[in-house]
A and B are shown apart, each in its own frame.
Chain A
């Protein structure tokens, strides 16, 4: 998989913190953040998920001129889509060398990990796929490793 360049920007961190309802000044107030142990604006622990914004081929973002599977005139813009939930997120793990900081320019490289299957009463056959992403900073030093597990279900997850 191609390497992605991920500029970590203060405004993006501020918006991310708002979305998770975190009012900690270390995520939005540069002056206050300077006086903390962090020494400046840092990103919340799961901020790296927003690297999707910098993936040119990210499949869960509508693109001009391409059909989108969400609703428009019809419930889905893509015909023949099976009535299944598609992929869901099963697990997410981070190992941190240091927090991500506003001003970092990270290089992210993802490699596929293990694949496994399991039967579930609530959703039929489950197929799990692991992806491991290394985040390196502008000096080439490892900052963080993310391991995500996605799951494809045979049918929508039963809510009973």
Chain B
């Protein structure tokens, strides 16, 4: 279900809870599938005693993946032309994340319509963990 340029307005938004009470096991799932086995994400002993963090924490790319779920639910499958994020704060086991896309522009280029979106993902304390932007092809 693609978005329609004619039905979009600047400031429209879509928001989803993309994870509730993030588990260490989900972080391990992401480590296994992505191939990033950095002990910071799964090895509490190393992370607290050597690296100096209060606990293991999520891969930034897991948070990007969680954010992408909200994004593709909004714009549809295979519609993205750009997707970029900055990781602004770490994500910890137990966190609950809310991701939001807000329409910044609706435009036409060579007969194709696009929507430009501003992205943000915040934790249960309202602290931003990801800020970003995306562009997707939309129908007329």
Contact = CB atoms under 8 A, between A and B. Distances in A.
Contacts of A84: 51-52
Contact of A159 (B19, B29, B54): B54
B78 A99 contact: yes
Given A26-B77, A37-B76, A89 B29 contact: no
B80 A96 contact: yes
Nearest to B68: A45
Contact of A86 (B51, B71, B84, B87): B51
Given A18-B29, A83-B51, A60 B36 contact: yes
A90 B62 CA distance: 13
A19 B77 contact: no
B74 interface: no
Contacts, number: 158
A46 B35 contact: no
Nearest to A75: B49
Interface string A131-151: 000000000000000010000
Nearest to A52: B35
Contacts of A42: 77-78
A86 B40 contact: yes
Nearest to B48: A75
Nearest to A36: B77
A75 B45 CA distance: 6
Given A71-B45, A91-B85, A44 B50 contact: no
Contacts of A92: 60-61, 64, 84-85, 87
Contacts of B90: 157, 159
Nearest to A87: B38
Given A50-B35, A53-B35, A75 B78 contact: no
A49 B82 contact: no
B86 A45 contact: no
Contact of A85 (B51, B69, B72, B87): B51
Given A37-B77, A44-B65, A92-B61, A50 B50 contact: no
A12 interface: yes
Contacts of B46: 69-71, 75-76
B62 A20 contact: yes
A76 B64 contact: no
Contact of B53 (A26, A37, A69, A85): A85
Given A42-B78, A95-B82, 19 more contacts: A16-B33, A20-B62, A20-B69, A22-B69, A36-B77, A46-B65, A60-B35, A61-B37, A70-B37, A71-B45, A75-B49, A75-B50, A85-B53, A92-B84, A92-B85, A93-B84, A94-B80, A96-B80, A159-B54
